[in-house]
Chain A
Amino acid sequence: MKLSEFIRPASLPEARKALRALGPKGMVLAGGTALHFMPGKTTVTAVDITGLGLSYIKQKGDYFVIGAATPLSDIQRHRGPRWAMHEICRRISTHQIRNVSTIGGNIARVFPWADLPVVLLAMNARMVVYSGKEKDIPADEYFSSQPARLFRGGDLLTAVKIPVLKAHHGFGSVKATRNATAFSLVTIAALLELKNGVIKSARVAAGSGIPFPQRLKPVEDALAGKEASTAVFKEAAAAAGAAARWVGGEGMSADYIRQLAEVSILDALERAAEFARGRAA
């Protein structure tokens, strides 16, 4: 992919109009890191959305709202009551990339190794898409397939809404990599809702090691209504094999990746339970 033109719209309607007119020849640019690796010789026009005020983190009611052009390093550094997004952002790539790469860029086009779709699926986040007016799309629907389908006609991702965790909620994420800044082999995120030590509800999601990020329903089913204990977590993690089609890579077999996923699920659940207990105290 080659940039042949670079435009800076002054407003969201203007950006949408430009993208609508350009069709497949238009490409949204915020951090722009992914554009450098887009294959092909097609020439495209970059539509720079960094001047549209889409870089912010604020709490609004029951949600943390993160602007689509917010760099990962801002999310990593942000602190607030029951804020859990910093952990995974710290594990994404390097300091220099996190300073530029944005939350929107991470989820507008989902790469197989992307970590944020996994976290947002587990968190039950909502994505805000602008199509002349703003509309919330729940994570399950947004990540049901490649989100590019939602941006035809110039529509834009403008924000991500993450539910503020309640006192009895706990969140944990685990990213398994070959080295500190490598792409993920397996990423797991878990959200647990506990009541008197019992799991009232669970959302567990995985990414990397599978073709596309997804929730692990058999793992969630094995948790619901049970005691939040290591034994239960181990039993649930063992359902990973049935939950998804694990794929080998980087010299590792599919079976190895599945086992890595099981260990990571256990770890994420332990962290989530610890988080919930800590917050409840």
Chain B
Amino acid sequence: MTKTTHTVSFTLNGEKKTFGTRPDEKLLALLRREGYRGTKYGCGQGTCGACTVLLDGRATYACLLYAMQAEGREVRTIESAGTFDNPSVFQKELVAAGAVQCGYCIPGMVMSATALMETEKVLEDEIVKEYMDGNLCRCTGYEKIWVALRKTLDRQAAAPAKKPAAKSKSSAKGGKK
């Protein structure tokens, strides 16, 4: 049981929440403690990207963010992107491409790709690589992840009016029930 001394309030996957915390607690630790375990603990030092979440729509490492820094902001985790029964387009493409081996990096990959798709209009390779440069995969050599992402982006470009899945999943908020 974590001893908490402070509270922090922010919008988490579309819902306003208040949590007990401590000044030195990382956002990653808070999220996992509260049941949002899709966000992974990897390196714990801002290198691997397994803990990537969106903070006001921008990809950030939850392991390098104090929970208190999320006050009043919007946080989105992998639980907002899709579920086992209702995966996002990118998640489907990852499976189709055989891009998931151990799968530990995938939540972070999906969140970085979500930030990319919701922010950029021009999805040239250079920009895509820039958005993905903070996510490491030790299994696949990236090729299949890249194939899946490129297919997703090309599909999105072909149907610009269609909203990305991440924002519209009201049934996939995650956390303790």
Q: Which residues from chain A sit less than 8 Å from chain B, CB to CB?
A: 2-6, 8, 29, 32-33, 35-37, 45-46, 48, 50, 73, 90, 93-97, 99-100, 180-181
Contact = CB atoms under 8 A, between A and B. Distances in A.
A96 B23 contact: no
Contacts of B60: 96, 99-100
Given A2-B24, A46-B23, A94 B64 contact: no
B69 interface: yes
Interface string B25-47: 01000000000000000000111
| Interface SS of B by simple majority | mixed
A100 B51 CA distance: 14
A97 B23 contact: no
B175 interface: no
28 contacts: A3-B23, A32-B64, A32-B65, A32-B66, A36-B45, A36-B46, A37-B45, A45-B23, A46-B23, A48-B69, A50-B69, A94-B46, A95-B112, A95-B132, A95-B134, A96-B49, A96-B59, A96-B60, A96-B61, A96-B64, A97-B46, A97-B61, A99-B60, A100-B60, A100-B61, A100-B64, A100-B65, A181-B133
Given A33-B46, A96-B46, A100-B60, A6 B131 contact: no
Contacts, number: 74
Interface string B49-72: 100100100111100111011010
B52 A5 contact: no
B85 interface: no
The 7 closest A-B pairs by CB, nearest first: A94-B134, A3-B23, A6-B23, A96-B134, A3-B24, A99-B58, A6-B68
B49 A94 contact: yes
A73 to B, nearest CB: 7
Contact of B23 (A4, A37, A95): A4
Contacts of A97: 46, 61, 64, 134
A10 B60 CA distance: 25
B75 to A, nearest CB: 13
Contacts of B46: 33, 36, 93-94, 96-97
Contacts of B124: none
A96 B132 CA distance: 9
Contacts of B112: 95-96
A94 B112 CA distance: 11
A48 B23 CA distance: 11
Contacts of A35: 66
Contacts of A48: 68-69
Nearest to B68: A6
A18 to B, nearest CB: 14
A77 to B, nearest CB: 10
A181 B131 CA distance: 12
